[in-house]
Chains A and B, each alone.
Chain A
Amino acid sequence: EPEVTQTPSHQVTQMGQEVILRCVPISNHLYFYWYRQILGQKVEFLVSFYNNEISEKSEIFDDQFSVERPDGSNFTLKIRSTKLEDSAMYFCASSDTYNSPLHFGNGTRLTVT
């Protein structure tokens, strides 16, 4: 069964540094998402992406965040200047249509020190 893959599995960075989290969605999927989950809390929506543009974003997704689909397979989340409160598990997800199940990757655990 095809899977969403994310790299790295764990990223440690210092406050103020830039990080890029990488995702390879399922190949025939058209809708891509980033969610985050602070330890022990619920899964929170960050951004959705379709047709090479952001279709929706949450209040969390401020100017420090950006997404990109640099080629036909990768989907990245960039945090420009990390803060301590950015520490969380970041999940990439994809779906084949706009109202079909999300398929999540295994996540990248980001630790900001």
Chain B
Amino acid sequence: GENVEQHPSTLSVQEGDSAVIKCTYSDSASNYFPWYKQELGKRPQLIIDIRSNVGEKKDQRIAVTLNKTAKHFSLHITETQPEDSAVYFCAASKGNYGQNFVFGPGTRLSVLP
């Protein structure tokens, strides 16, 4: 089955710097890759997603890139702010009937003021 790895497990950056989180997946049939942000004690919330027919997607300070050949995708956050501090999870799915989303182990991002 699908296996999603995520690095780093923790990341500390100074406010205003950029943060990059990388994920790899194992199943070449996966075609949908969302990123979720989870603040302490709260639900995971979708922040951006990308489909396999696109190489890059951007939404204000957040961007995601996808390399299908290498089976990896990355989250880029620019001009980080303290409120970006959270755990970020990447996920992959194949989009088949009955599919499930396989999540990475998470990255704890701390933005230091």
Contact = CB atoms under 8 A, between A and B. Distances in A.
30 contacts: A33-B100, A42-B89, A42-B103, A42-B105, A42-B106, A43-B44, A45-B102, A48-B99, A50-B97, A50-B98, A55-B97, A55-B98, A56-B99, A56-B100, A91-B43, A98-B98, A98-B99, A99-B32, A99-B93, A99-B95, A99-B99, A101-B46, A101-B49, A102-B34, A102-B46, A104-B36, A104-B43, A104-B44, A106-B43, A107-B43
Interface in B83-113: 89, 93, 95-106
Nearest to A47: B100
B65 interface: no
B89 to A, nearest CB: 6
A42 to B, nearest CB: 4
Interface in B37-71: 42-46, 49
A44 to B, nearest CB: 7
B31 interface: yes
Interface of B: 31-32, 34, 36, 42-46, 49, 89, 93, 95-106
A45 B101 CA distance: 7
